[in-house]
Amino acid sequence: MGNASSIDSSVVVYLEVSGKQEKIVFSKHCSSRDIHDLVAQAAGCSKYCILTLKDPNGAHISMSPTMPSNTPSAPYKVQVSQPTSNQGDSEVLTQLMTHVADQFNKAFKVEEMRSEISTRLTALERKLEMEGLKAVEIEKCKKDISEIKDQIWTAQKKFVDFNRMRPLLYGSNTHDHFYSSLSDERKICLKRDIPSYPKYTLSQETIDYLKQPTFDIWHWEPNEMLSLLEHMYHELGLVKEFSINPITLKRWLLCVQENYRNNPFHNFRHCFCVTQMMYGMIHLCKLWDYMTREEIGILLTASVCHDLDHPGYNNTYQINARTELAIRYNDISPLENHHCAVSFQILCNPETNIFANLDKDGFKRVRAGITQLILATDMARHSEIIESFKSKLEGKFDFKSKEQLDTLKMVLIKCCDISNEVRPMEVSEPWVDCLLEEYFNQSDREKMEGLPVAPFMDRDKVTKPTAQIGFIKFVLIPMFETVSKLFPQIDETMVQPLRLARDRYEGMKEQTTPPNPKSQKDQAAKKDGE
């Protein structure tokens, strides 16, 4: 691709609002909720209003990523209506408060029931998995587990009903967090049964290949990626280290997968990509010689969770648009703080808590370690973390110092998070397309909302070579070269591929850059002189 502007999966729709024409642009990867909010913004009304779209023939149009584009001469008419009630405000409020009080009581009972049921469920699953039971006993256990899960699902549905009442109680100005996955029990709680993905038998070739930076992550289906992640926890001894119930590990991985959004770049495959590179670095650098198994578990788990529920719009957008996340976290790493919050909300659920068997101090260490590493992935902190690491390398690096080891772990997760160009070109280049698509979606939205647009995200200014050359030269190569001072073995497998990637993109840039007339004239004059 010569020019990155050819990457375009946006949909353009023209609207008519009270006789005035408006235009919205959205990605095919947007959710219906995002599109609804864009239409509401164009209509100048609250996003909690009821909106209807009709084509020029009066047919209703669904607000979804698959809605057809139209033309300025045939815009969709937007009809806005507010929820109405035939009852007086006082009567509605009284009924609402009564219902809410009712739901509060149910919610408390639900939590009580969940605690008791989870204890029974864990005991049954352990018994079923660890002991050699007779066929009749196994069937009885399975029946009991099925009944317990039915009770949990019924209880969750009642609790969800209470969550739905909140916007009505607090009014139409309720913030987005009522619709975010962070407060959405239906999303955080696992929807699928365990095990719902097949158990794959991995060949020795795959097991060895999984440890290599050259691993091609594009050839694996979601269920296969889950099995590969599961294998990593078993192979590194983390299941034993943390006394993880294997069924809980499966359940946790499924829940993590469900809480990655279908963004062009920040999706579950990116999560797997980063975790696989971390797994490769653990083996390549033999990190178990320098760290405890607990610390290796923190590295791997932070990699799995590092972009949970990423909305596809970066911190700059969150802050400039004054989103609910930016407000909640006071403009300080809003996305990374959100990823941490979702990670531990999943781990708060006994059904998906892989650290359930740690003691209080152990869990506290793991929580602090994972939080520290996820927060370190904010690129706004890049210089701070790298300079700190460099200063620690000036003398002899002390692996027994907690402060120095923490800095090393932060640098390692940063390396893995942005390591695509370490991989072979056929693996890395599609990621550039995915990233540019996500950037272009954001810059299109920023233009529409009148927000500042970063040049490297603007489809009219950036190309694939210009996007990558500076990043590889000034961010990736210096960072990986610094790590290679501590682990020389990564120079050949990681630093050298980065240099080759830089040279390749510089060659692409030369091919796509128009020749300089003055330079051509000078070269011609030189040739004549010869």
pLDDT digits (tens, 9 = 90+) for 81-119: 765 444 444 554 555 555 555 555 555 555 556 556 666
For residue 141, the model assigns a pLDDT of 59
The verdict on domain 204-423 having CATH code 1.10.1300.10 is: yes
What are the two backbone dihedrals, phi and then psi, of residue 22, each rounded to the nearest 5 degrees? -130, 160
- Biggest CA-to-CA distance, the chain: 98
CA distance 136 to 124: 14
**Confidence at 176, pLDDT banded by 50, 70, 90:** very low
For residue 462, the model assigns a pLDDT of 93
Q: Does the pLDDT of residue 375 top 50, yes or no?
A: yes
For residue 57, the model assigns a pLDDT of 85
177 as an active site residue: the answer is no
> Which of 29, 266, 338, 339 does the annotation list as catalytic?
266
Q: Does the pLDDT of residue 459 top 90, yes or no?
A: yes
Q: Does the pLDDT of residue 2 top 80, yes or no?
A: no
How would you classify the pairing of strands 50-54 and 20-27? unpaired
For residue 182, the model assigns a pLDDT of 42
How would you classify the pairing of strands 60-61 and 76-81? unpaired
For residue 420, the model assigns a pLDDT of 98
CA distance 361 to 411: 25
% of the chain with per-residue pLDDT over 90: 58
**Considering Cα of 390, then 340, then 239, then 257, what sign does the dihedral take?**
negative
pLDDT in tens, 38-58: 888 888 888 778 888 888 888
DSSP per-residue codes, 129-187: HHS---HHHHHHHHHHHHHHHHHHHHHHHHHHHHHHHHHHHH-TT--GGGTSGGG-HHH
In the chain, where the domains are located: 4-81, 89-174, 204-423
Q: Which of 13-17, 198-202, 413-417, 440-444 has the lowest mean pLDDT?
A: 198-202
The CA-atom distances, in angstroms, between 357 and each of 354, 378, 491 are: 8, 31, 39
Q: When comparing pLDDT for 140 and 179, which is higher?
A: 140
**Confidence at 13, pLDDT banded by 50, 70, 90:** confident
The verdict on domain 4-81 having CATH code 1.20.1050.10 is: no
For residue 297, the model assigns a pLDDT of 98
What's the mean pLDDT when you consider all of the chain?
82
Q: What is the mean pLDDT of residues 260-268?
A: 97
Beta bridge pairs of residue 51? 80
